[in-house]
Protein backbone atom coordinates (compact mmCIF):
# COMPACT_ATOMS: atom_id res chain seq x y z
CA UNK A 1 0.00 0.00 0.00
CA UNK A 2 1.30 3.46 -0.94
CA UNK A 3 1.85 6.19 1.61
CA UNK A 4 0.00 9.50 1.28
CA UNK A 5 3.08 11.08 -0.25
CA UNK A 6 3.47 8.22 -2.73
CA UNK A 7 -0.20 8.50 -3.68
CA UNK A 8 0.08 12.17 -4.51
CA UNK A 9 3.38 11.63 -6.33
CA UNK A 10 1.74 8.93 -8.45
CA UNK A 11 -1.34 11.03 -9.25
CA UNK A 12 0.74 14.08 -10.16
CA UNK A 13 3.05 11.96 -12.30
CA UNK A 14 0.04 10.71 -14.26
CA UNK A 15 -1.64 14.11 -14.55
CA UNK A 16 1.58 15.80 -15.67
CA UNK A 17 1.69 13.43 -18.65
CA UNK A 18 -1.93 14.05 -19.64
CA UNK A 19 -2.09 17.84 -19.28
CA UNK A 20 0.13 18.69 -22.30
CA UNK A 21 -1.91 16.38 -24.53
CA UNK A 22 -5.14 18.10 -23.56
CA UNK A 23 -3.65 21.54 -24.22
CA UNK A 24 -2.17 20.44 -27.57
CA UNK A 25 -5.68 19.41 -28.65
CA UNK A 26 -7.21 22.78 -27.67
CA UNK A 27 -8.70 21.58 -24.42
CA UNK A 28 -9.27 23.62 -21.27
CA UNK A 29 -8.84 21.80 -17.97
CA UNK A 30 -11.75 22.87 -15.78
CA UNK A 31 -10.75 20.89 -12.71
CA UNK A 32 -9.01 17.84 -11.32
CA UNK A 33 -11.24 15.48 -9.36
CA UNK A 34 -8.95 13.09 -7.51
CA UNK A 35 -7.10 11.35 -10.33
CA UNK A 36 -9.74 12.43 -12.88
CA UNK A 37 -9.62 15.36 -15.29
CA UNK A 38 -12.67 17.38 -16.34
CA UNK A 39 -11.86 19.06 -19.63
CA UNK A 40 -13.79 21.37 -21.95
CA UNK A 41 -13.23 21.64 -25.71
CA UNK A 42 -14.63 24.72 -27.40
CA UNK A 43 -13.32 23.89 -30.86
CA UNK A 44 -15.44 20.83 -31.58
CA UNK A 45 -15.93 17.13 -30.99
CA UNK A 46 -12.89 16.11 -33.01
CA UNK A 47 -10.54 17.90 -30.64
CA UNK A 48 -12.01 16.01 -27.68
CA UNK A 49 -11.86 12.62 -29.38
CA UNK A 50 -8.31 13.17 -30.63
CA UNK A 51 -7.26 14.18 -27.13
CA UNK A 52 -8.81 11.02 -25.69
CA UNK A 53 -6.99 8.85 -28.21
CA UNK A 54 -3.68 10.63 -27.57
CA UNK A 55 -4.11 10.23 -23.81
CA UNK A 56 -4.52 6.49 -24.22
CA UNK A 57 -1.38 6.28 -26.37
CA UNK A 58 0.50 8.24 -23.71
CA UNK A 59 -0.86 5.91 -21.03
CA UNK A 60 0.52 2.90 -22.89
CA UNK A 61 3.98 4.49 -22.95
CA UNK A 62 3.66 5.38 -19.26
CA UNK A 63 2.69 1.82 -18.39
CA UNK A 64 5.92 0.56 -19.94
CA UNK A 65 7.64 2.08 -16.91
CA UNK A 66 5.22 0.39 -14.51
CA UNK A 67 6.25 -3.25 -14.59
CA UNK A 68 6.82 -4.15 -10.95
CA UNK A 69 4.37 -5.21 -8.21
CA UNK A 70 4.89 -1.78 -6.64
CA UNK A 71 4.31 -0.02 -9.98
CA UNK A 72 1.62 -1.95 -11.82
CA UNK A 73 0.11 -0.77 -15.13
CA UNK A 74 -2.94 1.44 -14.76
CA UNK A 75 -6.15 1.83 -16.76
CA UNK A 76 -8.26 4.88 -17.42
CA UNK A 77 -11.71 5.49 -18.86
CA UNK A 78 -12.58 8.46 -21.07
CA UNK A 79 -16.19 9.58 -21.57
CA UNK A 80 -17.07 12.33 -24.05
CA UNK A 81 -20.33 14.17 -24.68
CA UNK A 82 -21.15 17.27 -26.71
CA UNK A 83 -23.58 20.01 -25.71
CA UNK A 84 -24.02 23.52 -24.36
CA UNK A 85 -22.89 24.62 -20.91
CA UNK A 86 -22.61 27.60 -18.57
CA UNK A 87 -19.19 28.47 -17.16
CA UNK A 88 -18.98 30.91 -14.27
CA UNK A 89 -18.14 31.46 -10.62
CA UNK A 90 -20.11 30.44 -7.55
CA UNK A 91 -19.68 30.99 -3.84
CA UNK A 92 -19.86 33.62 -1.13
CA UNK A 93 -17.65 36.45 0.09
CA UNK A 94 -15.16 34.09 1.75
CA UNK A 95 -14.74 31.64 -1.11
CA UNK A 96 -15.43 31.72 -4.84
CA UNK A 97 -14.80 28.95 -7.30
CA UNK A 98 -15.19 28.44 -11.01
CA UNK A 99 -17.71 25.83 -12.05
CA UNK A 100 -19.59 24.42 -15.02
CA UNK A 101 -23.34 23.91 -15.03
CA UNK A 102 -24.57 21.61 -17.77
CA UNK A 103 -26.57 18.46 -18.30
CA UNK A 104 -24.06 17.67 -21.07
CA UNK A 105 -21.26 17.50 -18.49
CA UNK A 106 -23.31 15.20 -16.28
CA UNK A 107 -23.89 12.84 -19.22
CA UNK A 108 -20.17 12.81 -20.03
CA UNK A 109 -19.51 11.64 -16.47
CA UNK A 110 -22.13 8.90 -16.82
CA UNK A 111 -20.57 7.75 -20.07
CA UNK A 112 -17.14 7.67 -18.44
CA UNK A 113 -18.56 5.35 -15.77
CA UNK A 114 -19.78 3.00 -18.53
CA UNK A 115 -16.17 2.33 -19.56
CA UNK A 116 -15.95 0.14 -16.45
CA UNK A 117 -19.13 -1.76 -17.38
CA UNK A 118 -17.96 -2.45 -20.93
CA UNK A 119 -14.30 -2.80 -19.92
CA UNK A 120 -13.07 -0.38 -22.58
CA UNK A 121 -11.14 2.89 -22.54
CA UNK A 122 -12.99 5.45 -24.67
CA UNK A 123 -16.74 5.95 -25.14
CA UNK A 124 -18.60 8.85 -26.76
CA UNK A 125 -22.24 9.87 -26.95
CA UNK A 126 -24.43 10.03 -30.04
CA UNK A 127 -24.30 13.84 -29.77
CA UNK A 128 -20.51 13.72 -30.08
CA UNK A 129 -20.65 11.20 -32.92
CA UNK A 130 -22.96 13.50 -34.91
CA UNK A 131 -20.56 16.44 -34.46
CA UNK A 132 -17.49 14.61 -35.81
CA UNK A 133 -16.35 16.07 -39.11
CA UNK A 134 -15.66 12.62 -40.55
CA UNK A 135 -16.58 9.66 -38.32
CA UNK A 136 -15.00 7.29 -40.86
CA UNK A 137 -11.61 8.79 -39.97
CA UNK A 138 -11.80 6.94 -36.64
CA UNK A 139 -12.01 3.31 -35.56
CA UNK A 140 -15.50 3.55 -34.11
CA UNK A 141 -18.58 1.40 -33.57
CA UNK A 142 -22.04 1.69 -32.07
CA UNK A 143 -22.21 -0.44 -28.92
CA UNK A 144 -25.90 0.06 -28.22
CA UNK A 145 -28.41 2.11 -26.32
CA UNK A 146 -28.08 2.36 -22.56
CA UNK A 147 -30.08 3.88 -19.76
CA UNK A 148 -27.87 6.12 -17.69
CA UNK A 149 -28.56 7.48 -14.24
CA UNK A 150 -30.46 10.77 -14.37
CA UNK A 151 -31.78 10.19 -17.91
CA UNK A 152 -35.25 8.89 -18.76
CA UNK A 153 -34.51 8.22 -22.43
CA UNK A 154 -32.00 5.71 -23.75
CA UNK A 155 -28.62 7.06 -24.83
CA UNK A 156 -26.71 5.66 -27.82
CA UNK A 157 -23.04 5.11 -27.04
CA UNK A 158 -20.07 4.47 -29.34
CA UNK A 159 -16.67 2.96 -28.69
CA UNK A 160 -13.63 4.67 -30.22
CA UNK A 161 -10.83 2.12 -30.38
CA UNK A 162 -8.06 3.86 -32.34
CA UNK A 163 -5.74 3.47 -29.33
CA UNK A 164 -6.19 -0.31 -29.05
CA UNK A 165 -3.13 -2.41 -29.82
CA UNK A 166 -2.98 -3.18 -33.55
CA UNK A 167 -4.19 -6.80 -33.35
CA UNK A 168 -7.26 -5.85 -31.32
CA UNK A 169 -8.03 -2.82 -33.47
CA UNK A 170 -7.81 -4.86 -36.66
CA UNK A 171 -9.94 -7.62 -35.14
CA UNK A 172 -12.68 -5.18 -34.18
CA UNK A 173 -12.59 -3.57 -37.63
CA UNK A 174 -12.87 -7.00 -39.25
CA UNK A 175 -15.99 -7.81 -37.22
CA UNK A 176 -17.82 -4.47 -37.45
CA UNK A 177 -20.74 -5.85 -39.46
CA UNK A 178 -20.90 -9.05 -37.41
CA UNK A 179 -20.94 -7.09 -34.15
CA UNK A 180 -23.64 -4.73 -35.46
CA UNK A 181 -25.78 -7.70 -36.52
CA UNK A 182 -25.35 -9.30 -33.10
CA UNK A 183 -26.36 -6.04 -31.47
CA UNK A 184 -29.48 -5.86 -33.65
CA UNK A 185 -30.52 -9.36 -32.58
CA UNK A 186 -29.81 -8.50 -28.95
CA UNK A 187 -31.98 -5.38 -29.13
CA UNK A 188 -35.01 -7.43 -30.26
CA UNK A 189 -34.38 -10.11 -27.60
CA UNK A 190 -33.18 -12.73 -30.11
CA UNK A 191 -30.48 -13.77 -27.68
CA UNK A 192 -29.58 -17.14 -29.22
CA UNK A 193 -28.82 -15.55 -32.60
CA UNK A 194 -26.97 -12.68 -30.93
CA UNK A 195 -24.93 -15.15 -28.86
CA UNK A 196 -23.71 -16.95 -31.99
CA UNK A 197 -22.57 -13.70 -33.57
CA UNK A 198 -20.76 -12.45 -30.48
CA UNK A 199 -19.05 -15.84 -30.17
CA UNK A 200 -17.87 -15.45 -33.76
CA UNK A 201 -16.60 -11.94 -32.99
CA UNK A 202 -14.55 -13.41 -30.15
CA UNK A 203 -13.18 -16.15 -32.39
CA UNK A 204 -11.79 -13.42 -34.63
CA UNK A 205 -10.72 -11.12 -31.78
CA UNK A 206 -10.51 -12.81 -28.39
CA UNK A 207 -9.68 -9.48 -26.71
CA UNK A 208 -12.94 -7.82 -27.75
CA UNK A 209 -14.17 -6.92 -24.26
CA UNK A 210 -17.56 -5.56 -25.36
CA UNK A 211 -18.36 -8.67 -27.39
CA UNK A 212 -17.49 -10.72 -24.31
CA UNK A 213 -19.79 -8.59 -22.12
CA UNK A 214 -22.66 -9.00 -24.59
CA UNK A 215 -22.01 -12.73 -24.81
CA UNK A 216 -22.34 -12.99 -21.04
CA UNK A 217 -25.57 -10.98 -21.11
CA UNK A 218 -26.94 -13.23 -23.86
CA UNK A 219 -26.12 -16.34 -21.85
CA UNK A 220 -27.85 -14.87 -18.79
CA UNK A 221 -30.95 -13.96 -20.80
CA UNK A 222 -31.12 -17.42 -22.41
CA UNK A 223 -30.95 -19.07 -18.98
CA UNK A 224 -33.65 -16.70 -17.75
CA UNK A 225 -35.88 -17.54 -20.72
CA UNK A 226 -35.34 -21.27 -20.15
CA UNK A 227 -36.39 -20.87 -16.53
CA UNK A 228 -39.58 -19.10 -17.60
CA UNK A 229 -40.33 -21.88 -20.09
CA UNK A 230 -39.83 -24.49 -17.36
CA UNK A 231 -42.18 -22.57 -15.09
CA UNK A 232 -44.81 -22.33 -17.82
CA UNK A 233 -44.57 -26.09 -18.36
CA UNK A 234 -45.06 -26.75 -14.64
CA UNK A 235 -48.09 -24.46 -14.54
CA UNK A 236 -49.60 -26.14 -17.60
Q: Tens digits of per-residue pLDDT, 54-73? A: 999 999 999 998 887 778 88
Distance between CA atoms of 80 and 124, rounded to whole angstroms?
5
Q: What is the CATH architecture assignment of 4-163?
A: 2-Layer Sandwich (3.30)
Residue spans of the domains in the chain: they are: 4-163, 170-236
Question: Has residue 111 got a pLDDT over 70?
Answer: yes
Specify the pairing of strand 27-33 against strand 78-80: unpaired
Distance CA 168, CA 209 (A): 10
Within 8 A by CB and 6+ apart from 70, the residues are none
Instruction: For residue range 147-206, list pLDDT tens digits in order.
Output: 877 777 899 999 999 999 999 999 999 999 999 999 999 999 999 999 999 999 999 999
pTM of the full structure? 0.89
Residue 35 and residue 12: Cα distance in Å, rounded? 8
Amino acid sequence: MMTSEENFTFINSYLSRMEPIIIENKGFIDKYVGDGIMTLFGGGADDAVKAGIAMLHQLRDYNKTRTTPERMPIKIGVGINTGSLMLGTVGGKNRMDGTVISDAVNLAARIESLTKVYQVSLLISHNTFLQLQNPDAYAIRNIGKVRVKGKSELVTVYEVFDADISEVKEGKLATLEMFAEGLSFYNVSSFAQAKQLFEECLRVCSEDAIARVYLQWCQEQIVSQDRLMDLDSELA
